[in-house]
Amino acid sequence: MKIVDLTVRQFNYKSQMVRDSEGHAHPGPEHDATGSLLTVHTDEGAEGYCFGAGGHDVIQHVVRPALVGEDPFYRELLWQRLRERQRLHLGTLSDRLVGTVDMALWDLAGRVHNQPVYKLLGAFRDKVPAYASTMCGDDLPNGLDTPEAYAEFALACKRRGYPAFKLHTWQPPIAGAPSAKRDVAACRAVREAVGEDMVLMLDPFHYYSREEALYLGKELEKLNYYWMEEPMDEHSISSYVWLTEQLALSMVGPETAEGKMYTRAEWIVRGASDISRGGVGDVGGITPLMKTAHLCESHGVRMEVHGGGAGNLHVLCAMGFPGEYYERGLLHPFVDYERPEPWLNACVDPMDDQGYVHVSQLPGLGWDINWEYIEGNAKG
Ligand SMILES: [Mg+2]
């Protein structure tokens, strides 16, 4: 089997999410938006898909020539080839895009072999406990605008069945943010509302000073929080070594630091966190995320998977040294997360009443694609 083409289909949809001036998503007025679907085509008619491909130019001029004519099952070769291409195309060939291509190749393999991807990877389980992961704080009345609002939302998530809850607190441009004291107030309100038996985590503003991050960590220890993520710029590994040494609270990272599994290795060697971190969008797909999982396993360091979606869920179901939770969200009181995106017939991460997300048993990555919607709303 040979790859004969890569195409990107764009389609229109109505979005109720808006981005603030710093790029954080919040609920807002409905507006037109564009979705995209990458397709890998083969000479035998088999296809693989992945949503969310940006960068048409780089796909046409850099990715396509690297893949066309090759065997689509040579995923390692193709991933290494794209990784090398990134050096001269750093501004356009992102890890996220490399990950999209890698996931489309895994999806194709699953469809051809009639197996879900997590079984091709070597299955370990078929369901994962989820944590409710909130959007960033906002100033929307009854949204996520006060510590009390977080507390109320955490209670609603507990009633829905989530065993764990993670706050993303306020960041600029929201008035008054950042404020470590206000973050602690929200964390305290949530703990008091849900009681001691719910697992809680915090992901705050990412550019606090060492002293502010240490203050946050010490306060979270008093509130029996499970972990904290990325309170400082992750490029300063020394700052994370300094912080991790002083906290009993588990530090999780790196998440946004570039460098795929290489960066995770450096953090492990330096002792810059207690639990490592990575997602398909951070490290460049399923292929390097499995390497990262095995790297962590080999060092006896746990790895929590960053972000939701089909690719991350299949990796979680194939990790023998398992990530503990699936990150479900981002959630907000105004958003109905249980409703599938209009281009899908079903959610990729359905959660039962016990808080377990079940991986799809469909071949490939398990998207139940609404082709009628995609064709009917084709852009241009
Ligand atoms: Mg995070």
Could you tell me the distance, in angstroms and rounded to a whole number, from the CA of residue 282 to the centre of ligand 1?
11
Could you tell me the distance, in angstroms and rounded to a whole number, from the CA of residue 306 to the centre of ligand 1?
7
Of 139, 146, 198, 136, nearest to 170 by C-alpha is 136
| Distance in angstroms (rounded) separating the CA atoms of residues 277 and 284 | 13
Could you tell me the distance, in angstroms and rounded to a whole number, from the CA of residue 251 to the centre of ligand 1?
11
| Distance in angstroms (rounded) separating the CA atoms of residues 72 and 270 | 37
Would you say how long the chain is, in residues?
Answer: 380
Could you tell me the distance, in angstroms and rounded to a whole number, from the CA of residue 323 to the centre of ligand 1?
15
Of 343, 246, 268, nearest to 36 by C-alpha is 343
Could you tell me the distance, in angstroms and rounded to a whole number, from the CA of residue 229 to the centre of ligand 1?
6
Could you tell me the distance, in angstroms and rounded to a whole number, from the CA of residue 277 to the centre of ligand 1?
9
Could you tell me the distance, in angstroms and rounded to a whole number, from the CA of residue 52 to the centre of ligand 1?
20
Could you tell me the distance, in angstroms and rounded to a whole number, from the CA of residue 171 to the centre of ligand 1?
13
Could you tell me the distance, in angstroms and rounded to a whole number, from the CA of residue 62 to the centre of ligand 1?
30
Could you tell me the distance, in angstroms and rounded to a whole number, from the CA of residue 47 to the centre of ligand 1?
33
Encode the chain (380 residues) as per-residue pLDDT tens digits.
999 999 999 999 999 999 999 999 999 999 999 999 999 999 999 999 999 987 789 999 999 999 999 999 999 999 999 999 999 998 999 999 999 999 999 999 999 999 999 999 999 999 999 999 999 999 999 999 999 999 999 999 999 999 999 999 999 999 999 999 999 999 999 999 999 999 999 999 999 999 999 999 999 999 999 999 999 999 999 999 999 999 999 999 999 999 999 999 999 999 999 999 999 999 999 999 999 999 999 999 999 999 999 999 999 999 998 999 999 999 999 999 999 999 999 999 999 999 999 999 999 999 999 999 999 999 97
Fold of the domain spanning 3-114+368-376: Enolase-like; domain 1 (3.30.390)
Place of tokens 């904290």: 228
pLDDT value of residue 53: 82
Give the list of residues 6+ apart from residue 40 with CB closer than 8 angstroms, or none: 3, 5, 6, 47, 48, 49, 67, 72, 101, 104, 105, 108
Could you tell me the distance, in angstroms and rounded to a whole number, from the CA of residue 255 to the centre of ligand 1?
6
Domain with CATH 3.30.390.10 in the chain: 3-114+368-376
Domain with CATH 3.20.20.120 in the chain: 119-358
Could you tell me the distance, in angstroms and rounded to a whole number, from the CA of residue 230 to the centre of ligand 1?
6
Could you tell me the distance, in angstroms and rounded to a whole number, from the CA of residue 168 to the centre of ligand 1?
8
Could you tell me the distance, in angstroms and rounded to a whole number, from the CA of residue 305 to the centre of ligand 1?
10
pLDDT value of residue 117: 98
Could you tell me the distance, in angstroms and rounded to a whole number, from the CA of residue 373 to the centre of ligand 1?
32
pLDDT value of residue 380: 76
pLDDT value of residue 290: 98
pLDDT value of residue 56: 82
| Distance in angstroms (rounded) separating the CA atoms of residues 182 and 290 | 37
| Distance in angstroms (rounded) separating the CA atoms of residues 41 and 104 | 10
pLDDT value of residue 227: 98
CATH 3.20.20.120 fits domain 119-358: yes
Could you tell me the distance, in angstroms and rounded to a whole number, from the CA of residue 252 to the centre of ligand 1?
9
Could you tell me the distance, in angstroms and rounded to a whole number, from the CA of residue 20 to the centre of ligand 1?
18
The phi, psi pair for 212, rounded to 5°, reads: -65, -40
Q: Enter the pTM of the model.
A: 0.97
Give the list of residues 6+ apart from residue 188 with CB closer than 8 angstroms, or none: 147, 219, 223
pLDDT value of residue 54: 77
Structure tokens at 307: 């972000």
Could you tell me the distance, in angstroms and rounded to a whole number, from the CA of residue 307 to the centre of ligand 1?
8
